[in-house]
Amino acid sequence: MSIFALQSIAGGFLDEDMEHFNKNFDDWCIQFEDYEEAMDIMQTLENQETIDIVEITPLSYPKYFFNALQGTIYTTRQIEDDIICVVEPVMGASFRIAICDLKTKNVRLTKTRYKSIPSIEGAFANFGE
């Protein structure tokens, strides 16, 4: 499961107006189902050398695929059919581990709260073992 987007080498994803680049990938960004379709559109744009075609996946950009996932995501990994994320639900809140199911698109947060990234690293690294 992946989609393709046009990204400026300076950062940002091409918006649907095909003139501006959004800092974050969202519903307003132009997206393609395959690389060839993205290449066809890119070839119609000026300054092609400043644009890359990037693949967006649940592992690389989980917020796009899991609408219920809120907050700042610091790291992700995949375990079978789940994307596991370290999340800060709101700025200044304790960190949590989010489990995002690829099949159902459900998101759940573990009950344990962590005060800092170093305190959650061990739990994240050993999650599911």
Give residue 129's pLDDT: 63
Confirm if 88 and 72 have CB atoms less than 8 A apart. yes
* Tokens of residue 4, six digits: 């393709």
Q: pLDDT (tens digit, 9 = 90+) per residue, 3-41?
A: 999 999 888 999 998 888 988 888 889 999 999 999 999
Q: pLDDT (tens digit, 9 = 90+) per residue, 38-57?
A: 999 999 998 889 999 999 99
Q: pLDDT (tens digit, 9 = 90+) per residue, 110-119?
A: 999 999 988 9
Give residue 75's pLDDT: 92
pTM: 0.76
